[in-house]
């Protein structure tokens, strides 16, 4: 099961990032809580502890894969399938 964390305090970019990541996973035929788990991290100290200084951020299985921008679906699919 892939663990995905969306880092951000709830701004529109963070919300859009969560939507895009979820959409990419569903487009792969994945089911939430079966194939992937998506968690939101909203506390600034927890975000900083992951080394992210600009949100939104995306962490997959403990590895920061994106910060400071909304990722595109092809990129997200690459992260999900690697």
Q: How far is CA 73 from the centre of its chain?
A: 12
pLDDT digits (tens, 9 = 90+) for 64-78: 999 999 999 999 999
- Please state the pTM of the whole predicted model: 0.94
pLDDT digits (tens, 9 = 90+) for 5-59: 999 998 999 999 999 999 999 999 999 999 999 999 999 999 999 999 999 999 9
pLDDT of residue 77: 97
Which of the four CATH numbers 3.40.30.10, 3.30.565.10, 3.90.1150.10, 1.10.10.10 does domain 2-81 have?
A: 3.40.30.10
72-81: b (≥16 Cβ within 10 Å) or e? eeeebeebbe
Q: Which residue has the higher pLDDT, 66 or 82?
A: 66
């Amino acid at each position: 099961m892939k663990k995905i964390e969306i880092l951000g305090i709830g701004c529109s970019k963070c919300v859009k990032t969560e939507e895009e990541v979820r959409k990419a996973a569903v487009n792969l035929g994945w089911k939430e809580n079966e194939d992937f788990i998506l968690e939101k991290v909203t506390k600034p100290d927890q975000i900083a502890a992951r080394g992210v200084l600009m949100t939104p951020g995306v962490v997959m299985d403990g590895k920061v894969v994106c910060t400071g921008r909304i990722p595109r679906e092809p990129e997200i699919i690459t992260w999900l399938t690697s």
